[in-house]
Structure 1
């Protein structure tokens, strides 16, 4: 049903573009016949609207991968640097939440570990909605922040790093077999909001897949049993994501991006001081309005990285100013 709905939406969208273009051309023809500047202007505005909508739909054609239509998990981990990096990780967490809200996606927090002084030690979000994984899949990598530190009494400039990892929620059509003897299950006390119960019982669950080294955590539910079931789903999704990367012959590059959360591995830089700039180091797309980007205005960056992944070339995307 999800695939059918997606196809119907695409077909209806193309048909609407054709109708809107015909209407716009009719307005221009009538305007020229009757020397009516208002009709000509309305027709030209209609053609411009069709052009904008066609460009948006052209970007959506990039989302045709095997798992693109699925929901997605997104993990965030701070790099070395203590409070600075943990605070930066929380800023990224807010940025992706805001992006999800702009996209009308349902965003749930599955795991959240408070930082020592500020920020977070780790967090896992789940985005539910059409093409959630397709839109976010290129966000995996290291994100770099340059700013005047709010935690430094001397107001010195600091560079912080945090890593993002994105992998699809596996649906019932995809079977991933896991040998439970290859896994270690740990329970611990959950953190964050949830009332007295969530903070006083070992309801949170972490599962580590020993052969691959992949570890997932969940503390969303009050029940340890439910958290364990969710963690198994997340582990299957991670293993599936690894297989997808192998099929795309990208596994080595992606693994390298995870090995070191620091210099030389970043995919995007966010500079707040001494100037204002966000630049994607893979595509060259930039914005001189980092406050907008950190408030969820990520689409130009996502579109460019998707195009590069599909076509292997950069595409022209408007700056966010």
Structure 2
């Protein structure tokens, strides 16, 4: 608990919470709704973390007394086991908090999925990957909003983007960034041959501060088109969908889920700002790697995980060597083990994270 206390620093959290609470009580604080919302959200996060640590510390302290009582009264054994499991679960959750140190890690994320090599199988796989990531986000308690989806030619999707709104969404989804590989018997092959398909996942932070990234609209092509996916009669009958092409970087974003062209353009601009921030950070890291003479991280386009459905079943993360023998659970959104292991690896604790496989794995 001492190590966790040092990492969480509950005293600093309480001081920050008190500082923010004082600001919230100042005259005119709520006049700027956007700024007030950010301060209020930070206050809620700091207060929650401090309260969670305080309760955890108290409950952990009670375990010794409860264990002693259980030795005298065997009926308390079940309660002791539950309390130990609860404390361990909350310790793991708070330890996870320490893994997010990036500027945007605590904020919302825009996740983009694109079909890669593999034809129709890849487009079908992209849709499966989209479902998996959105289900994980929803199970995590995030608010998820599909922003755009471009239907595949025969099945699946060519691309899609969604926003995940919740604490540490960007930091968590960063562990999923890269190329995902699927191996299975193709349902689109008349000879039922095994096929390999690829889909890429990109993630960008949601940048609400316009001053963070200044976009010259003279550098942006704005195209409108008729939405092709689900979204109600309005979006399907008007050219409300918006595509933005940023010529200097080549970045293309699009949004079709909002109810008006103006709203779609505003959301697309947020998506573009986030992708430009991600591009800037990636270029900075590559420059640092070159200066140090290190091998550059090719994670942006590399294969991070394989999902094998035939001739055997297994999901393996190639960065951490974490394996799971039940792809169905993973494809239904059970990603915590993979994400946590990758976060630990990045924090320099990969050996502890990649500690073997699940029981019964292939």
TM-score, normalised to structure 1, is 0.90
Q: For residues 250 and 276 of structure 1, do their structure 2 counterparts lie closer, same or farther at Cα, with a shift above 3 Å needed?
A: farther
The higher relative CO (CA closer than 8 Å, separation ≥ 6) is in: 1
The one-character-per-residue Cα deviations of 1:193-220 (angstroms, maximum 9, x if unpaired) are: 1334423432211111111111111111
For the residues of structure 1 that align with 2:287 and 2:174, how far apart are their CA atoms? 12
For the residues of structure 2 that align with 1:197 and 1:4, how far apart are their CA atoms? 39
- Asked if 1:316 is matched to 2:356, the reply is no
Match of 2:303 among 263, 266, 274: 266
Judge conservation of contact 1:23–1:43 (CA < 8 Å) in 2.
Answer: no
Aligned to 2:327: 290
Judge conservation of contact 1:109–1:124 (CA < 8 Å) in 2.
Answer: yes
Q: CA RMSD in A?
A: 2.3
Q: For residues 254 and 176 of structure 1, do their structure 2 counterparts lie closer, same or farther at Cα, with a shift above 3 Å needed?
A: farther
Q: 1:278: how far off?
A: 0.5
Structure 1, 175-184 or 193-202: larger mean CA deviation: 193-202
Q: For residues 200 and 255 of structure 1, do their structure 2 counterparts lie closer, same or farther at Cα, with a shift above 3 Å needed?
A: farther
3-state DSSP class of the match of 1:311? coil
Structure 1, 74-83 or 142-151: larger mean CA deviation: 74-83
Aligned to 2:56: 17
Judge conservation of contact 2:235–2:257 (CA < 8 Å) in 1.
Answer: no
Judge conservation of contact 1:300–1:317 (CA < 8 Å) in 2.
Answer: no
The one-character-per-residue Cα deviations of 1:143-186 (angstroms, maximum 9, x if unpaired) are: 10000011112111000001110111113386211111222122
Aligned to 1:180: 217
Aligned to 1:261: none
Q: 1:31: how far off?
A: 4.5
TM-score, normalised to structure 2, is 0.80
Q: For residues 254 and 202 of structure 1, do their structure 2 counterparts lie closer, same or farther at Cα, with a shift above 3 Å needed?
A: farther
Aligned to 2:21: none
For the residues of structure 2 that align with 1:7 and 1:246, how far apart are their CA atoms? 32
- Asked if 1:169 is matched to 2:212, the reply is no
For the residues of structure 2 that align with 1:80 and 1:22, how far apart are their CA atoms? 54
Q: For structure 1, which runs of at least 5 residues remain unmatched after alignment?
A: 259-264
Aligned to 1:216: 253
Q: 1:312: how far off?
A: 6.3
Structure 1, 137-146 or 216-225: larger mean CA deviation: 216-225
Q: 1:18: how far off?
A: 1.4
For the residues of structure 1 that align with 2:81 and 2:251, how far apart are their CA atoms? 55
The one-character-per-residue Cα deviations of 1:293-313 (angstroms, maximum 9, x if unpaired) are: 000001111111111122263
Q: For structure 2, which runs of at least 5 residues remain unmatched after alignment?
A: 1-39, 290-295
Q: For residues 50 and 249 of structure 1, do their structure 2 counterparts lie closer, same or farther at Cα, with a shift above 3 Å needed?
A: farther
Judge conservation of contact 2:185–2:192 (CA < 8 Å) in 1.
Answer: yes
Structure 1, 188-197 or 161-170: larger mean CA deviation: 188-197
- Asked if 1:243 is matched to 2:280, the reply is yes
Aligned to 1:122: 159
Aligned to 1:89: 126
Q: 1:10: how far off?
A: 1.4
Aligned to 1:136: 173
Aligned to 1:257: 300
For the residues of structure 1 that align with 2:306 and 2:190, how far apart are their CA atoms? 24
Matched residues, number: 313
Aligned to 1:4: 43
Aligned to 2:29: none
For the residues of structure 2 that align with 1:118 and 1:76, how far apart are their CA atoms? 15
Aligned to 1:189: 226
For the residues of structure 2 that align with 1:171 and 1:140, how far apart are their CA atoms? 22
Q: For residues 174 and 181 of structure 1, do their structure 2 counterparts lie closer, same or farther at Cα, with a shift above 3 Å needed?
A: closer
3-state DSSP class of the match of 1:130? coil
